[in-house]
């Protein structure tokens, strides 16, 4: 996982939510960091969805706030 400085959004996401999400994920460099951050928010691991893309790449979908989800492309 490497931050690109650009946070793509899909659907109806406000500029404020996009800015908040960018600040939240800025420090995430590894899946372990994402999972620790998620646990610190009290979100059960069972609510995190992993979607295999191929043998090396997965998308990890993490519930965020107000029905929005963050999706990490993990290799």
- Condensed to tens digits (0 to 9), the pLDDT of residues 22-48 reads 999 999 999 999 999 999 999 999 999
CA 5 – CA 38 distance, rounded (Å): 21
Strand order in the sheet with 58-63: 49-52, 58-63, 69-74
Burial class (CB in 10 A: 0-12, 13-18, 19+), 24: middle
| Model pLDDT, residue 35 | 93
Domain ranges of the chain: 15-74
| Model pLDDT, residue 61 | 96
| Model pLDDT, residue 5 | 52
33 with 60: CB under 8 angstroms?
Answer: no
> What is the pLDDT averaged over residues 48-57?
94
**Helix H segments across the chain?**
15-25, 31-40
């Amino acid at each position: 996982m490497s931050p690109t400085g650009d946070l793509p959004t899909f659907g109806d996401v406000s500029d404020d939510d996009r800015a908040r999400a960018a600040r939240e994920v800025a420090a995430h460099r590894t899946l372990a960091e994402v999972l620790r951050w998620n646990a610190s928010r009290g979100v059960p691991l069972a609510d995190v969805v992993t979607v295999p893309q191929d043998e090396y790449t997965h998308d990890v979908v993490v519930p965020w706030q107000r029905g929005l989800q963050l999706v990490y492309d993990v290799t």
